Structures are given as structure tokens and as C-alpha cells.
């Protein structure tokens, strides 16, 4: 179970919490999914995998493949953070490929070799590991009204939603938060932004978004939506977070993205008195 921290905002009408998924073993929420996902295929006799990643998924997959003695072929982009590459290189049975088109190359390689491609947007087994986040939140809080999720493919958001569905009862409103650089899901709900060429939240990379229709449906069903966040908004959200007692190392830009989504909704006057919101801090 990851910690849940209350973020104290005196001027807010409601309560807001950070679910600290960044405190998983490799520092990312990806551990939730990739551990059981890889183990499932291992039990089926599969021992060699492929993954394309902006960094976090590769670090996580490398850990779990290393632990069970599986082979992993990783495809990452040319601008992948060096600290993440160092973590990958420290693992056994991992073959690292730096590519201009990592996703395309991973798909081609996996098809040519007949290997499992750990692509979360196309494999529903990836959803299962995120369900326990919902189970934990139900234990940790008397109720949850809103959940803000930094969203690339949408797998994390859908998995948490399915966890709440499994438990029955009232569902929280789900909000997909994306960047002004890439927003194939959140841009459907939020038009108040200007497109940008880059974003601090570099892990939001899925421009295809195979799950976009599912995420839109979930948002509509639960009374949620989406928010598109600019770099300026990210900077401002970080300043607010630091004033509450968080340290600079307590949250990466993807985590701040979810909090910025909460702040944008709050600024729009949509937070009702007494509501309980949770931001998923993924890195």
C-alpha cells in the first residue's frame, strides 16, 4: 500500500490528497501493473518480452524481468533521461535499444520474433495491477469524490476505475489530465489552452491513445472530464505544492500534472464544499 498525504490548501472548499504511487519500488506507478503482468505471462511459459517506453515503464519492466530471469528488449527514445538509462543498464538480461521511433520499432521487433510486446494500451492484462489503488483508497478515506490522473494511454485511469467498479457503490468522478503538447483525451473536454511544442511532463507520450473512447466514456459516466495543462500552469502548481510542505524531490512533473488538474478545476469554481479529491502522484 502506498502512502496517502493530505495537501493543505487553506483557501480550498474541499480536501485534496496525494496518492504517492511514486513510492513504489522503482519510483513509479508502473510497478503496479508490470509486476503482475509479466508474472502472468511467465506462468504461461513466456520468458522473453519487448517494451517501448519514455523511461519509467522500461525501468520497472527491467526490474521484474530481472527478478524472474526473463529476457527483456527495451526500445526508448533518443532523449530518454540518462538516470533512467543507468537503472536499465544495471539489470541482467536486458537489451537496450535507443531509437528515433521506439514504439514502431518495438512493434516490428516483437512481431518478427514472436515475442510478447508489453504495450499497456493494447493489452487489458495491464489494467489488473492498477485496481488495488482503488481498494486502498476505499480503506484510507471515508469517501472519494474526484480522482485526477496524469494520462498518457489512459491505462492507469481505466484500471483504477475498474477497481472501484469491482467494489460496487458510488463511483468517484474521474479526470484525465494531459499536457498542452499532447492531449488526445483531455482536449475533448478542455478547450481552455494553447498548444505547446514541449512539456515538462515528458512521460505523456501516447498520441494514438487507443483507450481514448473508453476514457471518455468513463469520464462521462462518472461526471468527470479532462484538463489540459500548460508549462506555466505546471510551474504555478509546483510553487503551490512546495508552499504546502512538499519538497522538490517529492513529486515529478507527471505528479504535479495531476495536482495542476485539480487546481484548474478549483479555479473554475467547480469544487463543492466538503468534497474529497485524490491526485495520483505517479513519479
pLDDT value of residue 249: 64
**Radius of gyration, CA atoms only, the chain:** 18
d(CA 237, CA 232): 9
Give me the pLDDT at residue 269, please: 83
Residue keyed to cell 515528458 = 202
Domains and CATH numbers, the chain: 4-28+130-281 (3.40.50.1100), 30-122 (3.40.50.1100)
Confidence (pLDDT) at 270: 82
Strand pairing partners for 98?
76
pLDDT at 78 over 70: yes
Stretch 120-125: mean pLDDT: 94
Is the per-residue pLDDT at 8 higher than 80?
Answer: yes
Report the percentage of the chain scoring pLDDT > 70. 99
271 pLDDT band, cuts 50/70/90, is: confident
pLDDT(247) > 80: no
Mean pLDDT within 9-33:
93
Residue 193: which pLDDT band, with cuts at 50, 70 and 90?
A: very high
Q: For 143-165, write each residue's pLDDT tens digit.
A: 999 999 999 999 999 999 999 99
pTM for this predicted structure = 0.94
**Residue 248's pLDDT is what?**
59
Residue 229 has pLDDT above 70, yes or no: yes
Alpha carbons 242 and 239: distance in angstroms, whole number: 5
- Give the CA dihedral 22, 25, 28, 33, nearest 10 degrees: -130
Mean pLDDT of the chain: 95
Amino acid at each position: 500500500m502506498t502512502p496517502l498525504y493530505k495537501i493543505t490548501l487553506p483557501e480550498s472548499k474541499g480536501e485534496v490528497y496525494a496518492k504517492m504511487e511514486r513510492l513504489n519500488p522503482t519510483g513509479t506507478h508502473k510497478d503496479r501493473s508490470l509486476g503482475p503482468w509479466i508474472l502472468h505471462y511467465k506462468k504461461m511459459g513466456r520468458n522473453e518480452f519487448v517494451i517501448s517506453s519514455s523511461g519509467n515503464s522500461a525501468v520497472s519492466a527491467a526490474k521484474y524481468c530481472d527478478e524472474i530471469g526473463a529476457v527483456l528488449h527495451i526500445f526508448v527514445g533518443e532523449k530518454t533521461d540518462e538516470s533512467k538509462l543507468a537503472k536499465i543498464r544495471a539489470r541482467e538480461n536486458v537489451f537496450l535499444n535507443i531509437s528515433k521511433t521506439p514504439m514502431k520499432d518495438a512493434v516490428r521487433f516483437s512481431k518478427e520474433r514472436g515475442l510478447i510486446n508489453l504495450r499497456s494500451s493494447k493489452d487489458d492484462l495491464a489494467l489488473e495491477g492498477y485496481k488495488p489503488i482503488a481498494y486502498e483508497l476505499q480503506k484510507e478515506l471515508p469517501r472519494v469524490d474526484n480522482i485526477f490522473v496524469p494520462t498518457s494511454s489512459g491505462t492507469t485511469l481505466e484500471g483504477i476505475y475498474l477497481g472501484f467498479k469491482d467494489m460496487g457503490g458510488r463511483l468517484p468522478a474521474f479526470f484525465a489530465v494531459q499536457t498542452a503538447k499532447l492531449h488526445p483525451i483531455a482536449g475533448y473536454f478542455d478547450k481552455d489552452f494553447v498548444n505547446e511544442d514541449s512539456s515538462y511532463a515528458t512521460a505523456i507520450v501516447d498520441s494514438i491513445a487507443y483507450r481514448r473512447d473508453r476514457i471518455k466514456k468513463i469520464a462521462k459516466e462518472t461526471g468527470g472530464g479532462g484538463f489540459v495543462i500548460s508549462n506555466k500552469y505546471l510551474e504555478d502548481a509546483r510553487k503551490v505544492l512546495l508552499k504546502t510542505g512538499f519538497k522538490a524531490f517529492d513529486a515529478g512533473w507527471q505528479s504535479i500534472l495531476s495536482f495542476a488538474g485539480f487546481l484548474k478545476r478549483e479555479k473554475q469554481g467547480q469544487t463543492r464544499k466538503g468534497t474529497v479529491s485524490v491526485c495520483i502522484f505517479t513519479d
